[in-house]
Structure formats: C-alpha cells, structure tokens
Amino acid sequence: MTRAFVAVRPPDGVLDAVEALVGALDVPDARWTDRDQWHVTLQFLGNRADVDAVAAALAPLAVHAGNVRFGGVGAFPTPRRARVVWLGVATGEPLLAQLAACVAVLLRPLGFEPEGRAYHPHLTLARCKTPTDVRAATDAFATAEVGAPWTAGEVVVYESTRGRAGARYTPRATLTLPR
C-alpha cells in the first residue's frame, strides 16, 4: 500500500513552455513545484493504494485520446488569498473531466470515493505557506495560452513519496487511451 494518484502528464515540449511561464511569474514566498511534479491529476488515491489493483481496475478505460492546451493562471482558494498557484486548461477541459469521471467510476469498487467538489483540471505551479495576494500574477497571465496543443493519450498511475525536498512521483503504470 502506498500514497498514489492517477494523472495525465504533458509532453516535454509543453513542459518547456510551462518552465518559461514559471520563470516569468512573480509570486513572493512561493514554493515552486518542479518539472518532475507537473501533471494534471484525475484522482488522488490517498495513502493506502494498491497501485497494481488500481492499474488493473483502469484497464477498461475507453475514453479516446484528445487535444489539450494549457492556458490561464489562477489560484486556490482565490487570487487574493492564494495557497496554490495553478496553470489552467484552455482547450480540452471536457476531455479531462470525462477522464476523471471514468477513472472515478472504475476505481469506486476499490473503495476510492470521487472528490465531493467539481473537477477543475489544472497543473500546480506553486504553493504558498500563508495566504498570499497573487492577483498581479494571475491578472497578467489570466488568458495566456501556454505551450502548443498536445494529445492526452495516456493515463499514468503514480506513486508519491514525500521527502524533505518535496514529493517525488514515480510512474507505476501507464495506460494508453484509444485513438
């Protein structure tokens, strides 16, 4: 049993564009995530996941691959009192929502409950220890498209290991989506 989640990982060329965006953002006292941590979570599985059972349960996933493009910087819970700074999805949100919903249906028999709140696909860029006003950054990049459109063609089951330098994510299973 391990800490795990299910996600979509963008290709390297898109991650290059995300890296350039991060270099342009000014968020005081932010703890930036690094390139190896960048993904779009479909479902967090908690600290007691059997990743082999999860991968087997996801084998029938039949959502077709589709195009995604990042765009727009935002914050949770609000830009005025941000704890998380994120990069949103400009194109492909319905695809990612469909993937998240199908993953939830397939994993429910294993005891994984879906989130109680609406799904909001995003890539986490930074975390703030205390609520921070990031409106200047979110306003400056609210509509910016980041990177080229890319095909979300795989779903990955990741193991997450916590450490002093932050979490390390190890792919444990990759499922290819039909075209």
The C-alpha torsion from 157 through 93 and 150 to 145, rounded to 10°, is: -130
Which residues are the active-site residues?
A: 39, 122
The structural domains of the chain, with segments of one domain joined by +, span 2-71+91-120+150-176
Dihedral (Cα; 96, 12, 84, 172), 10-degree rounding: 70
Phi first, then psi: give them for residue 79, nearest 5 degrees. Answer: -60, -25
Please give the chain's pLDDT, 179 residues, in tens.
799 999 999 999 999 999 999 999 999 889 999 999 999 999 999 999 999 999 999 999 999 999 999 999 999 999 999 999 999 999 999 999 999 999 999 999 999 988 888 999 999 999 999 999 999 999 999 999 999 999 999 999 999 998 877 789 999 999 999 98
Query: What's the CATH fold of domain 2-71+91-120+150-176?
Result: Cyclic Phosphodiesterase; Chain: A, (3.90.1140)
